[in-house]
Amino acid sequence: MLTSNHNQLKMKRSLAPPTVATEFTDLRTMAGHVDVWADLCRNAIEPNFFYSPRQALAAAEHLDGDLDLRVLLVWHDPGEGCPQLIGLFPFSLSRFRWGYPAKLYLGWINNYSASAAPLLREGFENTAVLAFLDWLDHGEVQPVACMMNEVALDGPAIAALKRGLDATDRPWKITKSWQRALLDSDLDGDSYIAERIGRSTRQGLRRKLRRLRELGELTFHIYEDRQDLPGAVEEFIELEAKGWKGRAGTAIKNNGETLAFARKAFTGSEAEARTRVDMLRLDGRPVAISVTVIAGDSGWYLKPTYDEELGRYSPGLLAPFENLKCVLDEASVNHFDSACIPGHVIEKIWTEKKRMGDILFAGRGGGRANHVSLMAFAEACRHKLRAAAKTLRDRVRAILKK
């Protein structure tokens, strides 16, 4: 159902079909339209937990308060006076990139999100994309280019975007791509473990599980009810702070704003976006905890942590290994995204892959392909320079610790 004040919105008619209108606004003002936003989330062609109301509003307030966060809304009104939200495209505006002034719309993503895929209502995905691209040509700010980072390149949202880009003669390039571990199988838990996980890995984990049980009573718990989540999230925060992230100053607890964000974002159980905390306990105390977020038929294994004093038992890997049966038997979720970088240890037990990447496209239809190729090259160089700087920083830190 639409919120009562929806008709007060000021919408600009686009050059897309006459039943479609667009609205460009500050993302933070969407707090007044949670109902229509949540309805779009429940009916999106590709679920995205990170653009759900609870998560996005908490991140906008506590993680990216200094960013000029905007959102393009696409509405469909068949003439009955009850417009339906069919597209939501969150962006931040960058005015300087690649060493020179350039207006660029960046699909919004932060350190606690794993996808910048826009929300597109199923059945209206092509209409929403065309309205978005039309708005880029005629909207308030006409960027030289747009970029969506960390999107599923083979997912339905980006497939709809590519169709729209090609239909409007708008050049585009994939500037970066990688494979991310995924759990997506029709097998039951026992069959998956036997057929998909290597024999040496299975035996090694079971051996460590037996040794860990020799230390006390080992139990596995799942917390997903509204009344249980806050306490479970607090236990996660405390355990993470005791580890290397706490010592490095990057744990959730080390920053007041990040702490406030986590307490808001990861304690929800709404139909369109919910959180589940999986916990391995030894004699009652947590030794491994993971925060999994779920939207529609998709889940993301977002935040794992473990007791480093028991590191030789690999509790951080034992927890998802023990949880495989529960995950594969989760009837409402078709796949779980690891949200991890390539080479992460989770790849030992989650053997499917998901092709991720960044897509860059011209801000105007009919743009020159060589301009987009040049920007894509500049972006690739930027990634390489940042990676080299990070490697150098880590080496210096290692030397200084000696």
pLDDT at residue 4 is higher than 60: no
From-to residues of CATH 3.40.630.30 in the chain: 185-333
219 phi and psi angles, rounded to 5 deg: -130, 150
pLDDT at residue 350 is higher than 70: yes
pLDDT at residue 139 is higher than 90: no
Tens digit of each residue's pLDDT (9 = 90 or more) over 357-396: 999 998 876 667 788 888 888 888 887 887 788 778 777 8
- pLDDT of 367: 66
- pLDDT of 11: 41
- pLDDT of 330: 67
Tens digit of each residue's pLDDT (9 = 90 or more) over 329-340: 766 788 899 999
Q: CATH second-level architecture of 6-178+356-396?
A: 3-Layer(aba) Sandwich (3.40)
Tens digit of each residue's pLDDT (9 = 90 or more) over 314-329: 998 988 888 887 778 7
- pLDDT of 366: 63
- pLDDT of 32: 86
> Given 3-state DSSP classes, what are the helix, strand and coil percentages for the chain, each rounded to the nearest 5?
40, 30, 30
- Residue 179 makes CB contacts below 8 A (sequence gap 6+) with 342, 353, 354, 355, 356
Smallest CA-to-CA distance from 297 within 338, 330, 324, 339 is with 330
Tens digit of each residue's pLDDT (9 = 90 or more) over 242-294: 999 999 899 999 999 999 999 999 998 787 899 999 999 999 999 999 999 99
- pLDDT of 15: 46
- pLDDT of 13: 39
Q: Is the pLDDT higher at 18 or at 235?
A: 235
> pLDDT band at residue 16, thresholds of 50, 70 and 90?
low
Smallest CA-to-CA distance from 370 within 167, 175, 173 is with 173
- pLDDT of 118: 97
Question: In percent, how much of the chain has pLDDT > 70?
Answer: 94
Smallest CA-to-CA distance from 74 within 137, 119, 7 is with 119
Bridge-partner residues for 223, per DSSP? 277
Measure the CA–CA gap between 163 and 379, rounded to whole angstroms: 23
Cα torsion at 238, 49, 362, 71 (round to 10°)?
A: -90
> pLDDT band at residue 164, thresholds of 50, 70 and 90?
very high
pLDDT at residue 106 is higher than 70: yes
Q: What is the mean pLDDT of the chain?
A: 88
Smallest CA-to-CA distance from 319 within 345, 293, 356 is with 345
Summarize the confidence of residues 290-309 as an average pLDDT. 92
pLDDT at residue 176 is higher than 60: yes
pLDDT at residue 9 is higher than 80: no
- The CATH code belonging to domain 185-333 is 3.40.630.30
pLDDT at residue 50 is higher than 80: yes
Number of separate helices (H) and strands (E) present in the chain: 12, 15
Summarize the confidence of residues 347-354 as an average pLDDT. 93
- pLDDT of 365: 67
Which pTM does this prediction carry? 0.88
